Amino acid sequence: MNTIELKKFLDEKYYIYCTPDFIENDPISIPHLFSCKEDIEISGFITATIAWGNRTMIINNATKFMNYLDNSPFDFVLNHSENDLLKLKPLVHRTFNGDDFIFFIKSLKNIYLNYGGLEKIFSKNIQLKDNLINFYKIFFYIEHLSKTQRHIANVEKGSAAKRINMFLRWMVRNDCRGVDFGLWKNISPADLFIPLDVHCGRMARMLELLNRKQNDWKAVVELTENLKKFDENDPVKYDFALFGLGVNNDFDL
- CA distance linking residue 70 with residue 236, whole number of Å: 33
What are the C-alpha distances in Å from 231 to residues 96, 236, 238?
A: 36, 9, 9
Q: pLDDT tens digits for 21-69?
A: 999 999 999 999 999 999 999 999 999 999 998 999 999 999 999 999 9
Whole-angstrom distance, CA of residue 59 vs CA of residue 100: 18
Whole-angstrom distance, CA of residue 94 vs CA of residue 114: 31
For residue 199, what are the contacts with CB-CB under 8 A and spacing of at least 6? 242, 243, 245, 246, 247
- Compute the half-sphere exposure of residue 250: CA atoms within 13 Å on the CB side of its CA: 18
pTM of the model: 0.95
* pLDDT in single tens digits along all 253 residues of the chain: 888 999 999 999 999 999 999 999 999 999 999 999 999 999 999 999 999 989 999 999 999 999 999 999 999 999 999 999 999 999 999 999 999 999 999 999 999 999 999 999 999 988 999 999 999 999 999 999 889 999 999 999 999 999 999 999 999 999 889 999 999 999 999 999 999 998 899 999 999 999 999 999 999 999 999 999 999 999 999 999 999 898 776 655 5
Smallest CA-to-CA distance from 169 within 229, 216, 236 is with 236
